Structure 1
Amino acid sequence: MVLLLEELKVYNEQAPNDLANYPKTKIKISSFLKRNDRYYFINRFNNVIIEDYTDSKAGKSITKNILEVIVEFIKDSYSSLVLRNQIPENQLENYEAYLSTNNKSLNQELKDGVYLSFKSFFEQTPSSQHTLEKNKKGEVKKIVNNQDLKISISEVFCYVDNGKAYRITPVGFLEMKKDENGFYILSSRTQLFAQKAGTGAMIGGIAGGMVGVLVGAAIDSESNKGVAKGFGFKTPTITKVYIDPLTGAFIFTE
């Protein structure tokens, strides 16, 4: 397994909607399986962590968070499924652009329907077993299966209606808008993070499979269905939260 530390930056910043000038840590780290000079993407952590402390305690908290992220990321990578697409060694530094060419959700018109996983959204293959039910105003009220039974929204990654995608979050479905950096929703850490920091859980973690044994599906179907957990202070600041084009995880950039 090869780890690629792409960015590690500690700084102070008061984002446009932040309540204070917070210490922050930007971490971007990726993992790959190497076989015969070919690389296969496993997973990545790509987020900004905010510290609640602004005094001498901030340094200790930053160090603790960096350590926890890296340790949990390595552990998570050893139990993750591997992207089947090969990356030549000379393309490793450009792996995101290289792999994103296969992301149909970014490169074609979205197909209407229900997507039970990020993998299905990535490949633009909506479920043939599920449909949207709307009220007289045309608003989506529930999702049903082919037995006309309502399913839990926790079983859904997103749905697309009239060409617009809506991502499941703890506060309901939010529209996924798109800019030059990809899909994003407008939300906050308070809304998206289910538990407090220090739980040892990863953002966008992928479960199942054995590295070196299984080179399997692009994204595990169980990934990202539930509420993401994260590190650091959960601020109510509303920002653009991007959807990782390779994992479906939430990415905070400020």
Structure 2
Amino acid sequence: MISYFCENSIMKKIFFFLFATLFMNAQKTETIKLSQSVKSKKINYKNFTVIDQRENKEIGSVMYHKDQVNIAFENNAVKDFQDWFYSDNPVKGNDELVLLIENIKVSEDKQEKFSIGKLEVRASTFLKKEDGYHLLYRKDTVATVSSRVTPYLAQSLAKKISLTFSELLKGSYNAKPWEITISQEELQNYETILKDTLEIYKADHLKEGVYKDYYSFFTHHPEHGFIIETNSKGIVTKAVNGEEKMPIRNFYAFVYNGVPYKVIPVGYTEIFRDELGLFIEVKKEELFPESNSSFMMVGGGIAGLIGSVVANVAIVAIDAKAAKKRKAMAGTEVSLDPLTGHYILPENFGKSK
């Protein structure tokens, strides 16, 4: 009897050992290699702080054949990002750079014959001063990789994580700090707090003029002294300040006759507002025109305008085929991110339904 129980116990141990071995073999890890240079050539920092406010520190996993591959940092996000930054930037200067990590998530969408790996990243940088934290730069992005392009989804997604944070840090070095101050206690809710301070959402009447960048537009500060000019067809072409003349394409946005417009690669389009914020109605071909696009710049003016009857008339005057093509394509609402000025593209943007 004793022999039976001993043998049974040994068999259980062997079983659990084999099960654990198989489980460990089926799970592999792709380490995020932070290898790109993040050297700051303009500003020296006395300190680099990383705040990881993710509730779940695990990033996620994808499959490689029958193996589950977890994507993870070598140590943890705080240590790895600090080691990476300090390897390229010696400690000196007066400024303190802060990286706030809000989300790093990997998932996999399995199709019948392939898979799509999805990466979501949301993180921001701040300049810490005596009066608090000043927003510098932000990444709120989604990237996908198809197994039809590369079977190594985990490796590709890990590289995208490294590249995304490299772009975030490099963009921070050249960014102008926001004047609005955030306290350390408010960092968890900084997005809502900053949006609530923006004048563009509060103003009943918008200030006429041109806005050089997203920050001046959302804080409602047009360029001083500039007057908007149009051509003989009523199309806005440039802004003039005395002897200084600048094409309208050099600005982020402008307000003309009380109507706000967003400058886009093929011209400009009206900006609308609802309870969620600001948005434009646009087609993929207008935000991301191909080199052989029918829309073109003509004589400093804009050929591919959208959002009004005047715009379509302008297109017809230059290229009737372009106007007909545009009319046949439905526009899509694309939001404007007030903290970056970037487009917030809806899922499946530009794809036919």
Name stretches of at least 5 consecutive residues in structure 1 with no aligned partner: 14-19, 196-236
Q: How does 1:1-254 map to 2 (within 5 A)?
A: 1-11=97-107, 23-36=117-130, 38-54=132-148, 56-109=151-204, 110-127=206-223, 128-133=225-230, 135=232, 139-147=234-242, 151-187=246-282, 191-192=286-287, 239-254=332-347
Assess if the C-alpha contact under 8 Å between 1:39 and 1:88 holds in 2. Answer: yes
Which segments of 5 or more consecutive residues in structure 2 lack a partner in the other structure?
1-96, 291-329, 348-353
- What's the TM-score once normalised by structure 1's chain length? 0.67
Quick one: higher RCO (CA 8 Å, sep 6+), 1 or 2? 1
AA in 2 matched with 1:119 = Y
Larger deviation: 44-53 or 180-189? 180-189
Aligned-partner Cα distance in 2 for 1:156–1:64: 33
Return the index of the structure with the highest Cα Rg.
2
In 2 relative to 1, CA 53–140 (structure 1 residues): closer, same or farther, beyond 3 Å? farther
Would you say the 8 A contact 2:228–2:256 is kept in 1? no
Counterpart contact for 2:136–2:177, Cα < 8 Å: yes
SS in 1 for 2:340: coil
CA distance in 1, matches of 2:123, 2:99: 7
In 2 relative to 1, CA 131–28 (structure 1 residues): closer, same or farther, beyond 3 Å? Answer: same
Q: Number of aligned pairs? A: 206
Over aligned residues, Cα RMSD in angstroms? Answer: 3.3
Whether the aligned pair in 2 keeps the contact of 1:48 and 1:253 (CA below 8 Å) is no
d(CA) in 2 for partners of 1:23, 1:239:
25
Identity rate, percent: 31
